Amino acid sequence: GQQVMQIPQYQHVQEGEDFTTYCNSSTTLSNIQWYKQRPGGHPVFLIQLVKSGEVKKQKRLTFQFGEAKKNSSLHITATQTTDVGTYFCAGRISSGSARQLTFGSGTQLTVLP
């Protein structure tokens, strides 16, 4: 079945440093979504990428979708303590009528003040 791998599993950064998490799929994706889950909370939708090579920015966050639509990344510039949480990618496969999202295992970000 479809697998979505995400690295690293954990990342500790000093406040002000940059952070990147990477997502790789075993199959071509029709789109990929990114979510943030604060400790004790539920996943909150951040963004969706659909087009090959797409790049989207949200303030300090930059999201990329690979040319082959099998990988993606989230980059945070100059992290702040409010960025703490677990970041998940979730991919939707290209073929058939599948509507399910397959989540990666997440990257847990800790920002040290």
Partner 1 sequence: DAGVTQSPTHLIKTRGQQVTLRCSPKSGHDTVSWYQQALGQGPQFIFQYYEEEERQRGNFPDRFSGHQFPNYSSELNVNALLLGDSALYLCASSNLGGGPYEQYFGPGTRLTVT
Helix (H, G, I), strand (E, B) or coil at 81: helix
d(CA 69, CA 80): 30
Could you tell me which residues are beta bridge partners of residue 111?
A: 13
Nearest to partner 1 of 16, 41 (CB atom):
41
Q: How far is the CB of 105 from partner 1 (least distance, A)?
A: 5
- Cβ atoms within 10 Å of 36's Cβ, excluding its own: 19
Kindly write out the interface string for residues 82-101 of this chain, putting x where it contacts partner 1 by CB under 8 A and - elsewhere: ------x-x-x-----xxxx
Binding site for partner 1 (CB under 8 A): 1, 6, 31, 33, 35, 41-45, 48, 50, 88, 90, 92, 98-106
